[in-house]
Chains A and B, each alone.
Chain A
Amino acid sequence: MDQHIAETTGYHDEQWHAHGHHKESFVTKYIFSQDHKVIAKQFLITGIFWAIVGGILSSIFRLQLGFPDMSLEWLRPILGGWITDTGKLDPEFYLALVTMHGTIMVFFVLTAGLSGTFANFLIPLQIGARDMASGFLNMLSYWFFFASSVVMLCSFFLKTGPASGGWVVYPPLSALPQAIQGSQGGMTLWLIAMALFIISSLLGGINYITTIINLRTRGMTFTRLPLTIWALFLTAVIGVLSFPVLFSAALLLIFDRSFGTSFYLSDIYIGGEALTNQGGSAILFQHLFWFLGHPEVYIVMLPGLGITSEIIATNSRKPIFGYRAMIGSLLGIAILSFVVWAHHMFVTGMNPFLGSIFMILTLIIAVPSAVKVFNYLATLWKGNIRFTPGMLFSIGLVSFFISGGLTGIFLGNAAIDIPLHDTYFVVAHFHLVMAAASFFGMLAGVYHWFPKMFGRMMDAKLGYIHFWLTFIGVYLVFFPMHYIGIAGFPRRYYSWTNFDVFNSFTDLNTFVSVAALAVMAAQFIFLFNFFYSIFRGRIAPANPWRSNTLEWTTPLHPGHGNWPGAIPTVYRWPYDYSKPGAEEDFIPQYVPFSETMESNLPHENDLIALEKEEESIVIDESKSH
């Protein structure tokens, strides 16, 4: 930590005091804000908007799958020409729905909405920093995301519809406008939106990394960081290393689409003519795409795991079990996430030997994931558990992570992947382990940190109802899909009646659709609770969950700069819950060991001398800004 020594502490107090009250207009405070807390809320609200859009899209295609004979004439006022003359969904629009649902949920909700919200909100507050390293880049990060959102939203209003080649946009389908309508203007807008999104993600990621490395408060060593910060840190590192590869993949696709190059195209005869493209490789795109695409699932997953670690420890009133093992497994997952991408490509015609290598690497990544689960279980064991809505969603996350993670062992095994690849088994797997789990991480985080974000409490009872409907509903949606997948039903099918082999399970598909619509409906309870509580919720106590981390030492409505006075110094790790000898069942990070003689462990008594030494260092914040 490069902190500077100055003569007085009084100086910087005044300076920050003045800083917190300078005049701000509505525009600089709420729109083009450089305050990390406001930016976090902007990401959150935009993420919620996209989650609603993504959820509605899935509701429409679930109607088609669950009730294939139903007339969708009543959707004509909204969907217009996408409803056929017979009152059915247009098959190409069905593909567009699937594509946009995937794109929106993976990138806009679970990457920007999740990382964007919690990295922005928690990093400065939990490490003890005034703000992000660069407030300006942080603001740009949100506005690039916003621009990306606008472009993506526009593609819905094109006559030829939004991109419809699957969220993975494999060429040649995505490269040839004559192959599917969505590969016309819709795909162009998709690529522009993703390019903007990647810029946003990189600006954010660089900021998160820099802030965590450079702006930790006095005493906040890496081994005292809350696991949320560790998770968000590694998420940002993964993002910064992998998103540029998606950018290059998209760039080459733009060249192929618009400038006649042949990076991905070769030997194609379509629409009655042979194209001139030769020598390209469709597989190349898949390698580039999944080099981001696989780390991406961990970009989505790690923040949820970090949030869960924090919430489970707090509400079990117990230290997280195996703190260092948790960091180790996060690191292991982060590193291994870069060398498993081709397990999405076992049956693409890739050299089978390469398949063997990726199969070994893929199953290795199951080990750190298993360690995380066991550590969560050990944290709950002999705890004193308080079921806040946040805690319930965290428990739900762990359950989804177990249930969905285990099916990864099937799919990571190349031999078993042959029959299961691109069936509903895969859909069930990734929705549980990645989508539902990280969505629960996001909800857990919102319930847990809402008091810090808005100074008010969300209604707990509505939270419980929301949790139970969503939790049971998600299992009812995705568990039956395993059976449908084992029976061999392929993904992205508009209807199954063309095949004798798939012409069954109408009952189960209807069941899944009903459950999906119920889950969607249950989210309105959350929306009501969220927006109602912003304005009318009970005023929150300073530390509602009796938590150890630094964010609860800020005022109820932290201003610009977060702490009105000096930033607290950190003396201990964040998980001193229920320490034997201590009076309360938690000891916040800012409490020095010299004040807790009754509960110190032997090696902690040795640290008291060092505490004195550190306190004599004075920080002059005027020079670090």
Chain B
Amino acid sequence: MFEVAIGLGVFLVLVILLVLFRVQSLLDVARGSDKKIESTSNRVNGALLLLFMIVGIVAFFWYSIAEVDRYTLPNASIHGALTDQMFWITTIITGIVFILANVALFYFAFRYQYKESNKALFYPDNHKLEIAWTVIPAIVLTLLVGYGLKVWTQITDEPPQEAEVIEILGYQFAWKVRYPGKDGVLGGYDYRLIDPINEFGVDFSDKASFDDFVPREIHVPKGKPVHLKIRARDVLHSVYLPHFRVKMDAVPGMPTRFWFVPTKSTEDMRQETGNPEFNYEVACTEICGRGHFSMRLIMVVDEPADYEAWKNSQEPWLNQNPSYLSKVPENLQDVAVVTAGINSKN
């Protein structure tokens, strides 16, 4: 019954609208106002364009200024300060053009609306103007490109030797990280060695792998360069650290990298944001399937001393999974036992 009433109501509204529309169009014909160009409609549209511009610009400035803390994320890396600065420089330059061009567009439309008595100016060309508005944008863009190139080259430059190397692996639908252990070298891997436990496909014939460890969370030291070696196991993923302005795709079969220097520890950020629960997060920004929106990993930025202590407290993966000792070649097994700190051989 209720549905019928709604259906009837909608139908009646539509009929009324249709009648209004017919009356309106017949009235137009009767008045002959559809033949006039300098009509009320023309004036209303001109005024609305101007009104839209004014309201739009006010709303733009109001929201951009009032909500700035909501839509900007605090930055926590050295290069992030540079990209943020570039972002704001570009915002100011393009913001000026945005306002001027839109003001000109809507103001001209309003100002030069049709008048019976007027005649438009026949003005097909002006070479000086054309050259000016080709050259000026070209110069401004060249400056932006120049600065952008400098920053880009810096960010993508070779990572420093002393950087902390950490491997991060994306798969449907989570991240895993592997640390090189005390020797500072990540053990080799092969995707054919991957199994449900050895998720990285670590190759245990490489002795650099014996002390590698795989923690639950990713820890990085504050103030030291961190070199992420990025891998994907199944489809494309993308490592995204919003607070560090870090983003790099993870590609199966093609290792990628990104290095950065964190400048604020998790504790620093908790104080800055006033949120005692704050945690840095790793997210995925390349569509990877059903769970794309849930590839979360917590990242902890420690003070350098705490970081070293945390690293020392981690047990090598081989120690946690001694059954993989059988994958180690005979001649290296003793080394493996010692390096991984395995107590008894069986």
Contacts and interface: CB of A to CB of B under 8 A. Distances in A.
A363 B278 contact: no
Interface in A257-278: 265-270, 272, 274, 278
B249 A347 contact: yes
B147 to A, nearest CB: 8
A422 B291 CA distance: 17
Contacts of A464: 41, 44-45
A487 B72 contact: yes
A355 interface: yes
A490 B240 contact: yes
A329 B149 CA distance: 25
Contacts of B71: 483-484, 486-487, 505
B192 A274 contact: yes
A544 B52 CA distance: 28
B152 to A, nearest CB: 4
A472 interface: yes
A460 B151 CA distance: 52
B78 interface: no
A56 interface: no
Give the interface centre of A380, A387, A475, A499 by most chain B CB atoms within 10 Å. Answer: A387
Interface size range of chain B in the complex: 35 or more
Contact of B137 (A348, A349, A367): A367
Given A347-B238, A352-B152, A416-B90, A501 B243 contact: yes
Contacts of A173: 235-236, 287-289
Interface stretch (A1-9, A29-37, A228-236, A575-583): A575-583
Interface in A240-298: 265-270, 272, 274, 278-283
A391 to B, nearest CB: 9
Interface in B229-253: 230, 233-236, 238, 240, 242-243, 245-249, 251-253
Interface in A413-451: 413-416, 418-423
A224 interface: no
B62 interface: no
A490 B283 contact: yes
Nearest to A262: B253
B109 interface: yes
A585 interface: yes
B141 A377 contact: no
Given A356-B152, A363-B144, A322 B130 contact: yes
B63 interface: yes
B119 interface: yes
Contact of B152 (A415, A475, A499): A415
Candidate in B46, B112, B279 with the most chain A CB atoms within 10 angstroms: B112
Given A383-B120, A415-B148, A321 B125 contact: yes
B108 A413 contact: no
Interface stretch (A41-49, A396-404, A558-566, A612-620): A396-404
Interface string B68-87: 00111100000010110011
Contact of B118 (A324, A384, A419, A479): A384
Nearest to B142: A363
Nearest to B89: A416
Interface in A460-486: 460-462, 464, 468, 471-472, 475, 479, 483-484, 486
B11 interface: no
Contacts of A267: 191, 252-253
Nearest to A180: B289
Contact of B119 (A283, A323, A578): A578
B140 to A, nearest CB: 9
Nearest to A403: B98
A340 B273 CA distance: 40
Contact of B253 (A266, A403, A460): A266
Contacts, number: 342
B254 A269 contact: no
B260 to A, nearest CB: 10
B94 interface: yes
A619 to B, nearest CB: 30
Most chain A CB within a 10 A radius of its CB, from B42, B63, B83 = B83
Nearest to B115: A384
Contact of B41 (A278, A320, A364, A387): A387
Contacts of B149: 356, 359-360
B330 interface: no
A225 to B, nearest CB: 15
Contact of A399 (B34, B105, B172, B296): B105
Interface residues of A, number: 119
B114 interface: yes
A216 interface: no
Given A318-B123, A487-B70, A494 B293 contact: yes
B104 interface: yes
A503 B262 CA distance: 23
B253 A418 contact: no
Interface stretch (A104-112, A128-136, A368-376, A547-555): A368-376
B155 interface: yes
B231 to A, nearest CB: 9
B293 A282 contact: no
Contact of B281 (A91, A170, A499): A499
B34 A347 contact: no
Contacts of A422: 238, 240, 247, 285-286
A387 B278 contact: no
Interface stretch (B21-29, B215-223, B319-327, B335-343): B21-29
A416 B156 contact: no
Given A172-B234, A416-B90, A498-B294, A385 B246 contact: no
A384 B144 contact: no
A410 interface: yes
B67 interface: yes
A574 B171 CA distance: 59
A402 B102 contact: yes
A11 interface: no
B109 A366 contact: no
A214 interface: no
B108 A268 contact: no
Given A325-B130, A418-B83, A349 B256 contact: yes
A577 B120 contact: yes
B234 A179 contact: yes
B112 A95 contact: no
Interface in B110-167: 112-115, 118-126, 129-130, 133-134, 137-138, 141, 144-145, 148-149, 151-153, 155-156
Given A384-B118, A414-B148, A499-B281, 17 more contacts: A173-B289, A270-B172, A270-B234, A349-B254, A356-B149, A367-B141, A382-B120, A382-B121, A384-B115, A418-B246, A459-B25, A461-B24, A461-B28, A483-B70, A487-B71, A494-B292, A498-B294
8 contacts: A173-B288, A348-B251, A366-B137, A383-B120, A387-B45, A471-B52, A483-B70, A580-B122
Nearest 4 CB-CB pairs, A to B? A266-B253, A352-B156, A349-B256, A267-B253
Interface of A: 91-92, 95, 165-166, 170, 172-173, 176, 179-180, 265-270, 272, 274, 278-283, 316-325, 347-349, 352, 355-356, 359-360, 363-364, 366-367, 370-371, 373-378, 380-387, 392, 395, 398-399, 402-403, 406-407, 409-410, 413-416, 418-423, 459-462, 464, 468, 471-472, 475, 479, 483-484, 486-488, 490-496, 498-502, 504-505, 538, 575, 577-580, 585
